[in-house]
Structure 1
Amino acid sequence: MEAILKDPSGAVIGLDFDGTLSPIVADPAAARVHPDAPAVLAELGAYVNAVAIVTGRPVATALELGPGLERVPGLVVLGHYGFERWENGRISGPPPPAGVPRVEAELPLLLDSLGLLGVTIEDKGRAVAVHTRRSADPEGALAKLREPMAELAAKHGLVVEPGRLVLELRPPGMDKGHALSLFLAERDARSVLFAGDDLGDLAAFDAVRASELPGVTVCSGSAEVTALADRADIVVDGPDGVVALLRELTSAFSRS
């Protein structure tokens, strides 16, 4: 953290969305960014090299669930683990792979064959996610799904990304770590902070270490996932804690 405080103009601040800037909810479509996050990010962005949200969500969905983010000066949103990018009001990215709609068409039959009730399918454009949070036995349903989902992913040239009571099938070749590494190089970063909450953020934590830059990893803590907390430099209490930490950073910059 010392390098970021001494040289904020060289710092890149990377942030996951769900569970980090937005509280986890039973229905992913009902998620909303922390009400204070857009203002805090706008203040933070005035001091640092760049602020980037790195999420598995499509860019358009992250912006829809994050009212006010589109007005944060200089903000970059890397969606679909980096396959999509939003900057200066424009979205860029390749077309979705053919395997995604094929998987989505087969998933209802798979869920029915396993007798899983309350499990929901989320169309993410370039990926498809299966959530077990609303089932009677979320952990049991997740365990039942792991092997057949892996087989379905392999059949259609996709990979499985595990999360907090969710399994996501997405194209290979990009993850949050790779997306963050490319962004750090692009911005000639001299330090980096990344905050996340879930297993999909481990790759970004690894990228912070591999960058050989002065780096800080932050876990938005929860009782559901402990693997990230074990690897983090700082653990805070959910999105409230993340926003509070970013606000403290901004206050420190303003005093220096």
Structure 2
Amino acid sequence: MEAILKDPAGAVIGLDFDGTLSPIVSDPAAALIHPEAPGVLAELGRHVRAVAIVTGRPPATALELGPGLAEVPGLVILGHYGFERWENGAISGPPPPAGVPRAEAELPLLIDSLGLKGVTIEDKGRAVAVHTRRADDPEGALAVLREPLDELAARHNLVVEPGRFVLELRPPGMDKGHALGLFLAERDAMSVMFVGDDLGDLAAFEAVRASGLPGVTVCSGSTEVTALAERADIVVDGPDGVVALLRELVSAFSR
């Protein structure tokens, strides 16, 4: 943190979206960004080398749920764990893998065969997520689904990414850590901070430490995920705490 404060122009600030900039809600389509986050990120973007949102969401969805993000100076959104990129108003990325729609087509019958109620499927374009938050027993449903989804993913050359009451089937070869590491090298970062809330952010935490740069990891804390808090340098209280921390940074830069 001292290195970031001393030379903000050399710092890359990376953030997850869900649970970090937006609250976790039962309907993923309703996970609107914290109302103060775009403004704080815009101020932050005027001081640092780059602000990057690294998320499992498609970039277009992050922009839809984050009105005002498109105006953040220099913002880059690395979506689908880095497979897609939004920058300067344009989205780029390779074609979606054929295994995702094939696996998605099998999911309703699979879930029905397991007798699970309240489990929902989210089409994410390059990935498909299975949510158990609305089930009568979210933890139990997650446990029942894990092995069948592992088998389904393997048949279609996909991997399973676990999260907060969600299992996501996505293509292999990229994760938040790899995406963040490539971005740090691309921008010749001098320091880095990454803020996340879920198991998928562990790879980004590891990338901060593997970069060899002065870096700090921040957990947007919750009672649902403790593994990330145990690995973080700083733990804040959910998206409210994240926005407060970013505001403190902006205030320090402006002195």
Q: TM-score, normalised by structure 2?
A: 1.00
- Residue 101 of structure 2 aligns with which residue? 101
SS in 1 for 2:17: coil
**How many residue pairs align between the two structures?**
255
- Residue 228 of structure 1 aligns with which residue? 228
Unaligned runs of 5+ in 1: none
Per-residue CA deviations over 1:69-117 (Å, capped at 9, x if unaligned) read 0111111000000000000000000111000000000000100010000
How big is the alpha-carbon RMSD for the aligned residues of Structure 1 and Structure 2?
0.4
1:7-156 equivalence runs, <5 A: 7-156=7-156
SS in 1 for 2:172: coil
Q: TM-score, normalised by structure 1?
A: 0.99
Unaligned runs of 5+ in 2: none
- Residue 243 of structure 2 aligns with which residue? 243
For residues 104 and 59 of structure 1, what CA distance do their matches in structure 2 show?
20
For residues 252 and 57 of structure 1, what CA distance do their matches in structure 2 show?
31
For residues 154 and 184 of structure 2, what CA distance do their matches in structure 1 show?
31
For residues 31 and 8 of structure 1, what CA distance do their matches in structure 2 show?
30
SS in 2 for 1:142: helix
Moved over 2 A (4+): none
Kindly, what percent of the aligned residue pairs are identical? Answer: 87
SS in 2 for 1:18: coil
For residues 251 and 62 of structure 1, what CA distance do their matches in structure 2 show?
26
For residues 119 and 63 of structure 1, what CA distance do their matches in structure 2 show?
26
TM-superposed deviation, 1:231: 0.1
For residues 206 and 114 of structure 2, what CA distance do their matches in structure 1 show?
35
- One-letter code aligned to 1:241: G
For residues 40 and 76 of structure 1, what CA distance do their matches in structure 2 show?
15
SS in 1 for 2:44: helix
For residues 204 and 73 of structure 2, what CA distance do their matches in structure 1 show?
23
For residues 162 and 225 of structure 1, what CA distance do their matches in structure 2 show?
11
For residues 242 and 192 of structure 2, what CA distance do their matches in structure 1 show?
15
- One-letter code aligned to 1:149: L
For residues 250 and 71 of structure 1, what CA distance do their matches in structure 2 show?
17
1:155-234 equivalence runs, <5 A: 155-234=155-234
